[in-house]
Structures are given as structure tokens and as C-alpha cells.
């Protein structure tokens, strides 16, 4: 270690991670009210969420390079300032386009907070201290999704939606002052970055996401096809670049690892439905059923709370049934649970919805843990960092794609004759299709071998004996 870390450093990192995770979820319950103030349809507000998730996906690969180039302290401070500036611009937005631009600025800052925090922890602490420090710092990542929808709902109902973003400003400024005192500076004199690969990869992510986003707009089908075609070309160009370049952004040797390849694809497909749910469900509850934003926020908490509670039983499940069987069955279960939301009506007792969402939260927790661990299980040491980075980017892209597809389905069916007299019909059909789409990933996980992940199970068993 180059310097002794401050005792307050883990608290600073926890605050930064909490801000980023809270902001990723707090907007969902506020969309209908924001749409009303901006004179937009609440069914067309998905771009405000997609812009943030897509910015995270595009900017995350830059975090390691920028940390080495300008130093962790400067990058962290700059990211906090950018996040605060983006939050201020979001609160001042008078149109959807301005809100989307502001969310991109906010995302550029947020994209660096968590990766830089993790990098600082890895460099500042001995391995013997690392587990406890990380455990403390990442706890807010679990709490943020619980508080986000509730806080967002209450701010909308009893203050105004602007406070969703204004809340970040004093917290962010305190973080800046705090970071100025305790954040260590780590730099690498020799750093390498694949700029061409980054540009091609970012172009592919942007174009493919934009293709889904604009598909539902009138007279935009040709542009959507053009975006999809451009995204495909960018992916092909990246493939050829990575084959010839000595140190590409993401080496093609990653895809030679079967479990990584299957885990990455399964991760992307199965998360589509799960990512669309936090966007579709608050809209259903508020637009179709007439619930207040705060009530909708409380009804989303079982998803996050059940996820936290389930963490303690995941290891025994994996040890008993293995990764392949668990993922295949659990993926089908999640798909069925999403489809079951089509049965919910305005007259459905809330306790039934709470039980349903609690089951979904537990299944999601098991799914995320199993998918993430099997994806990186067989990577070599020299592939671990790159593979983990690509998996994180893949997760953000799945959020962007999932929300875009969910919004596309909802907008398409809301204008169809079948939903002319009842908007909830459009939601029901959207839930059915997203559930079926989620279940498709079971076919991907079925390609795993029954013994895949056994080395992880054995390690866990040895730790417990």
C-alpha cells in the first residue's frame, strides 16, 4: 500500500455507492407525475431511465483507464461534481428532451462512482481487511433499491418530483468535501486503453438501444432499422478489431470460455423481463389502477426486501441442485411470475400482490447470484478483470434493452383496438410477452453441463466445514 487509508474512507465509499444505487431506482414511481408536468404521456417516459442505464453501460469501461491516467481522487471528485451538476439540471428540466440530456450528464458521473470506489478499496486495503471493508461499503447497494421507489413516491405525493434530484445536491456536496479530505490518490504511470475498441463497442450499444427506443415512434421504423443495422456493423467491426489488436477492450478469448459465453447470453436475455418490471409495474399501479405514487413505491419494496432475505439460502440451494438445474427451473419460475401479473386487477387485494412480488424478489436474487457466479467461474486470473467488467456492462445494457422492449410493447398495445377501453389490457399483454421472453433464457442455461460450477460449490462447502 502507498498510504494508510482514513478510517472514514469506507463510509465515503458507502455514501457514493448509495447515491448511485438510489438514483437508479428512485425515478420509477415518479414517472407519471413528471410526465404530467412535462406534458408527455406517462407511457413515453422510458427514455429518462434508459438514458441513465445506457450511459452507465457505455462509460463503465473507461473507469479503470481514467483512474490510472488522472488518479482515483481526482476522478472520484470530478464524478461527484458531474453527478451533482446532472442532478441540478434534471430538477430544472422543462421538457423530456432536456431531462434525457440531464440524465446522461448525471450518468456520466454515476458511472464512475462504484467502479472507482471498488478500485480504491482493492488498492487501499490489505486482503485481510478487504472483505470487511467491501461488505460495509456495498451494503448501500442492497438498501438503495429498497428505499428508492418509496422515497420517490413520497417526494412526488407530498413535495414535488424535482426533490428526487435536488436531494442529491447537498449529499453530493458533502461527499465532495469529505472526499477532498480522505480519498487517497492512486495512479499508474503506464496505462493502456483500447480507444478504437471502446468507440466501436459504445457505438454498438448506443445504436442497438436506440433501435428499440425509437421503434414505437410514428414514422421512425426506417430510422430504427438503420440504428439496428449500424449497431450490428459496429459489433462486427469490433470483432475484427479485437482479432487483430494485441490488447483489445474485451479479448475474444473470453468467449472461448463456455460458461462465460453461456452466462453472458443468459444474463442478457433473462434480465430483459426482470429489468422491465420496475418500469412497467409502477405505471400499471398508477396509470391503470389509480394508486398514489407512495403506495406504488411501497408495493415495489417486497422485490428488494425478499432479495435481501434470500441471500442466506442461496448457497444451500446451489449445493443441493447445482447451477444448471437451478438456473433452468428458476428462469422458468421467474417467467411465470412475470406472466402472472397479467391476472392482477384494480380489485386484487394488495396482500396477494405483495406475496407475488416477494416470490419474484426471492427468485430474482437467486437468479442474479447464480448467473453472475457461473459467468466468471472458469475465467483465468488474467481474464477475471476484463470478464467482470464486461459482465457489468452487459447487466446495464440488459436494463436499457429490457425497459425499451417493455415500453415498446406497452405503447404498441395501448393504441390497439384491444385496449381501446381499458389500458390495463396493454399491460397484461406486455407482461405475458416479457414473461415468455424471460423463459427463453432457460434454453440457454440448459446448455450448461450438470457439473459446471461444482468448483464453486466445493469451495463454499469447505468454508462451512
User: Per residue in 27-46, pLDDT tens?
Assistant: 888 999 999 999 998 888 88
CA-based end-to-end distance of the chain: 33
Instruction: Check residues 414 and 123 and name the one with the higher pLDDT.
Output: 414
Confidence check: pLDDT of 87 > 90: yes
From the list 56, 182, 51, 161, the residue with the least C-alpha distance to 109 is 56
pLDDT on residue 3: 58
Neighbours of 201 (CB within 10 A): 25
| Across 33-47, 343-357, 406-420, least confident range | 406-420
CATH superfamily of 253-465: MFS general substrate transporter like domains (1.20.1250.20)
CA 185 to chain centre: 28
Instruction: Check residues 311 and 437 and name the one with the higher pLDDT.
Output: 437
Please give the Cα distance from 424 to 69 (Å, whole number): 51
Q: Which grid cell is 99?
A: 431531462
CA 278 to chain centre: 11
Residue ranges per domain, the chain?
Answer: 1-185, 195-248, 253-465
For 1-185, CATH gives: 1.20.1250.20
Please give the Cα distance from 184 to 3 (Å, whole number): 8
pLDDT on residue 200: 95
Q: Cβ distance 16 to 114 under 8 Å?
A: yes
Confidence check: pLDDT of 308 > 90: no
Residue with cell 426486501: 305
Confidence check: pLDDT of 122 > 90: no
User: Per residue in 444-461, pLDDT tens?
Assistant: 999 999 888 876 655 554
Question: What does the DSSP assignment read for 215-271?
Answer: TTSTT-HHHHHHHHHHHHHHHHHHHHHHHH-SS-SS-GGGGGSHHHHHHHHHHHHHH
Q: Quickly state the pLDDT bin for 352 (edges 50, 70, 90).
A: very high
Which one-letter DSSP state was computed for residue 1?
-
Query: Counting every residue, how long is the chain?
Result: 465
Confidence check: pLDDT of 191 > 80: no
Which one-letter DSSP state was computed for residue 203?
H
Confidence check: pLDDT of 133 > 80: no
Q: Quickly state the pLDDT bin for 464 (edges 50, 70, 90).
A: very low
Please give the Cα distance from 195 to 371 (Å, whole number): 29
- Segment 283-287 mean pLDDT: 93
Instruction: Check residues 334 and 118 and name the one with the higher pLDDT.
Output: 334
Residue 446's alpha-carbon distances to 334, 367, 398, in angstroms, are 16, 14, 20
Q: Which grid cell is 412?
A: 404498441
- Segment 281-298 mean pLDDT: 92
pLDDT on residue 456: 65
Please give the Cα distance from 178 to 38 (Å, whole number): 36
Amino acid at each position: 500500500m502507498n498510504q494508510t487509508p482514513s478510517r472514514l474512507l469506507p463510509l465515503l465509499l458507502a455514501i457514493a455507492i448509495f447515491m448511485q444505487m438510489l438514483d437508479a431506482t428512485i425515478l420509477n414511481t415518479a414517472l407519471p407525475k413528471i410526465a404530467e408536468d412535462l406534458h408527455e404521456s406517462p407511457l413515453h417516459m422510458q427514455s429518462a431511465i434508459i438514458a441513465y442505464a445506457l450511459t452507465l453501460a457505455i462509460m463503465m469501461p473507461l473507469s479503470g483507464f481514467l483512474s490510472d491516467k488522472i488518479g482515483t481522487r481526482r476522478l472520484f471528485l470530478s464524478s461527484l461534481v458531474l453527478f451533482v451538476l446532472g442532478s441540478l439540471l434534471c430538477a430544472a428540466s422543462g421538457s423530456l428532451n432536456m431531462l434525457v440530456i440531464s440524465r446522461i450528464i448525471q450518468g456520466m458521473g454515476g458511472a464512475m462512482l462504484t467502479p472507482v470506489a471498488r478500485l480504491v478499496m482493492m488498492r487501499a486495503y490489505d486482503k485481510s481487511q478487504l472483505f470487511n471493508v467491501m461488505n460495509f461499503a456495498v451494503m448501500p447497494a442492497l438498501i438503495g433499491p429498497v428505499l428508492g421507489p418509496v422515497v420517490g413516491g413520497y417526494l412526488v405525493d407530498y413535495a414535488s418530483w424535482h426533490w428526487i434530484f435536488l436531494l442529491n445536491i447537498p449529499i453530493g456536496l458533502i461527499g465532495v468535501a469529505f472526499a477532498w479530505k480522505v480519498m487517497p490518490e492512486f495512479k499508474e504511470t503506464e496505462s493502456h486503453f483500447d480507444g478504437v475498441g471502446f468507440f466501436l463497442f459504445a457505438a454498438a450499444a448506443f445504436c442497438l438501444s436506440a433501435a428499440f427506443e425509437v421503434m414505437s415512434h410514428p414514422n421512425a421504423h426506417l430510422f430504427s432499422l438503420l440504428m439496428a443495422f449500424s449497431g450490428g456493423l459496429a459489433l462486427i467491426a469490433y470483432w475484427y478489431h479485437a482479432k487483430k489488436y494485441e490488447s483489445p477492450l474485451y479479448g475474444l478469448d473470453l468467449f472461448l470460455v463456455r460458461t462465460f459465453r453461456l452466462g453472458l447470453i443468459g444474463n442478457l436475455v433473462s434480465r430483459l423481463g426482470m429489468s422491465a418490471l420496475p418500469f412497467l409495474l409502477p405505471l400499471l399501479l398508477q396509470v391503470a389502477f389509480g394508486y398514489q405514487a407512495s403506495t406504488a413505491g411501497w408495493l415495489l419494496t417486497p422485490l428488494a426486501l425478499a432479495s435481501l432475505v434470500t441471500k442466506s439460502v442461496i448457497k444451500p440451494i446451489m449445493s443441493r441442485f447445482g447451477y444448471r438445474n437451478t438456473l433452468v427451473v428458476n428462469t422458468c419460475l421467474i417467467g411465470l411470475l412475470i406472466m402472472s401479473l397479467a391476472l392482477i386487477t384494480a380489485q386484487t387485494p394488495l396482500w396477494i400482490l405483495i406475496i407475488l412480488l416477494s416470490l419474484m424478489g426471492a427468485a430474482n436474487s437467486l437468479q442474479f447470484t447464480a448467473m453472475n457466479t457461473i459467468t466468471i467461474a472458469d475465467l483465468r486470473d488474467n481474464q477475471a478483470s476484463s470478464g467482470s467488467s464486461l459482465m457489468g456492462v452487459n447487466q446495464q445494457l440488459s436494463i436499457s434493452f429490457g425497459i425499451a422492449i417493455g415500453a415498446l410493447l406497452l405503447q404498441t398495445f395501448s393504441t390497439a383496438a384491444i385496449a381501446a377501453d381499458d389500458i390495463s389490457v396493454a399491460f397484461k399483454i406486455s407482461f405475458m410477452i416479457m414473461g415468455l421472453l424471460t423463459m427463453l433464457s432457460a434454453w440457454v442455461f440448459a446448455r450448461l453441463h450438470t457439473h459446471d460450477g461444482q468448483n464453486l460449490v466445493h469451495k463454499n462447502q469447505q468454508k462451512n466445514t
